[in-house]
Chain A
Amino acid sequence: MRINWRVVQNWIVPVVALVAWQLFGAAGMLPRYLSTPDAIVEGLWEMAATGELLAALAASLYRVTAGFVLGTGGGVLIGLAAGVVPAVRHFFDPLVSFLYSIPKIAFLPIFLLLFGLGHGSKIAIIAVSCFFPVFIASRHAVLAVNRLLIWAAQNMGAPPRTVFFRVIIPAAAPQLFTGIRIGLAHAFVVLFAAELIGSKAGLGTLISYGEEWVRFDLMFGGIVCFAALGFFADRLLLVIRQRVLKGQIIGTEEQVVR
């Protein structure tokens, strides 16, 4: 049997790290706050059995989905409008360029007071964080559409509606997805920070409970779940992107992290 060295090289670093973690942890050579992988799996199992994990997962998932959909939807709609209509662009450009450099998480204390400790404040802050990268990508995407394509469509008598839906949107789609992907990454960062700073449910809260109870296996269990959630959300977006852009990305040299 031939050994595929590429695959071996790909996996050797993570596997060695994991095995070393387990061995040194079991031998008691690691600090106590680094629970061994088998303890983490056991902790996960324990939380899953009591239903805690599912409840936390559901709360986090609901918040991130609602906030992401609201923020991305708003960002795409207003961004496309800003790309097409100069008046909208001139209204939003100065505001966005000023607000963009501010970490939106800084507004969290204000959102907590406005919307309370529950779902509302998290959804609102996630939506605001997602909005900006998506808006900017959509606006640039429309402006970057090749004018020749639009002129060609207009020359053939296409009404503005058709030009918008059949020319501008498909041409802008790849860049739209880039912005949406950045928005998704922002959503998870903000979700975690919001749940750690002020919340009563969710994976972030579970992780801070694990710290408080000095149950580091539960803390790591929460961390693993949160990381997995973010990872698979991103993969899902890439799959959707692949579907939507089918035919557009064939033959082009794509530089997408996958």
Chain B
Amino acid sequence: MTAEARAIVGRWYSIPLLLVVWGAAVASGLVQSRLLPGPGAVWDALTGETANGALVYHAGVTVSRALTGFLLAALIGIPFAAAMARSSLVGNLFEPIFFLGYPVPKIALFPVFTYIFGIGTPSKVAFTFLECLYPIVVTCYFGFSGVQTRLIWTAQNCGASRMTILRRVILPAAMPSIFSALRIALPVAIVVVVITEMIGDSIGLGYYITIWSTRFRFANVYAAIIVIGVCGLVLDQAVLLLRHRIVHWERERA
């Protein structure tokens, strides 16, 4: 075995080890296989439910809701954060709402959202929007207000207009924080959609988990959990890729 292969095994052995322990525990009857089906059963559920389209459909619902709320929050939140950071009036008006509201668990408002927007997609999207808006506005606000003043002075000295300064100086300088805001908000969007679907809906992965656990088919539940994890991973990688393309002058710190 080469040193390289040994290093790879040393770094990744825990996942196969866990699978083996899991399989052995289920096969030996140490844990109830009804609550924790073996890896084989979960794999069968995963491939079967993907092939017949059920998981694909529910995952599509969940991801599209999460992305809609997330994108709305980004589209509105980023310009809003810029306005708050660059204008003291807007900043003073809305700072307490965002800064004092930040640690408040907004999930408690979800019942009110279901009354206003109904139980289906609109209430989930609206609530995801709210939950994503806070981290996006707060993180971007720090990014926009942290732009070094001498950069702006230099641009002004060179005769740049306010619009040019915003577009060519402030926006690029704030770009790294915008992307870290997006990376914080994206998993929030997925979690929030799954939670609200578990609380009440008839489509989506959260509903899928609830319905199959009441039917005691836990292989399907674990399959759905894996699908959620994969969706989150793929979306996060997409944001990272976008960041790499746009913020090409600064390498991301892992």
Contact = CB atoms under 8 A, between A and B. Distances in A.
A234 B103 contact: yes
Nearest to A95: B14
**Interface bin, chain B:** 35 or more
Contacts of A101: 187, 228-230, 232-233, 236
B108 A223 contact: yes
A233 B94 CA distance: 23
B195 A226 contact: no
Interface in B196-249: 198-199, 205-206, 209-210, 213-214, 218, 221, 224-226, 228-230, 232-233, 236
Contact of A99 (B36, B102, B229): B229
A192 interface: yes
Nearest to B191: A103
Interface residues of A, number: 57
A187 to B, nearest CB: 9
Contacts of A92: 14
Interface of A is mostly: helix
B96 interface: yes
A230 B104 contact: yes
Interface in A34-76: 34
Contact of B109 (A6, A109, A223, A257): A223
Contacts of A93: 11, 14
A192 B107 contact: yes
B192 to A, nearest CB: 8
Nearest to A12: B93
B54 interface: no
Contacts of A14: 96-97
A213 interface: no
B138 A257 contact: yes
A72 B198 CA distance: 25
Given A90-B10, A99-B229, A103-B191, A227 B108 contact: yes
Interface in B163-206: 187, 190-191, 194-195, 198-199, 205-206
A109 B210 contact: yes
Contacts, number: 147
A211 B106 CA distance: 18
Nearest to B209: A106
Nearest to B190: A103
B153 interface: no
A188 B105 contact: yes
A250 to B, nearest CB: 20
Contacts of B97: 13-14
A134 B197 CA distance: 26
B48 interface: no
A123 to B, nearest CB: 17
B108 A102 contact: no
A193 B232 contact: no
Contact of A11 (B96, B112, B199): B96
Interface of A: 5-6, 9-14, 31, 33-34, 90-95, 98-99, 101-103, 105-110, 113-114, 185, 188-189, 192-193, 196-197, 203-204, 207-208, 211, 219-220, 222-223, 226-227, 229-231, 233-235, 255, 257-258
16 contacts: A6-B92, A9-B92, A33-B112, A90-B10, A90-B13, A95-B14, A106-B194, A106-B221, A106-B225, A109-B213, A110-B218, A114-B35, A185-B105, A188-B107, A192-B107, A230-B105
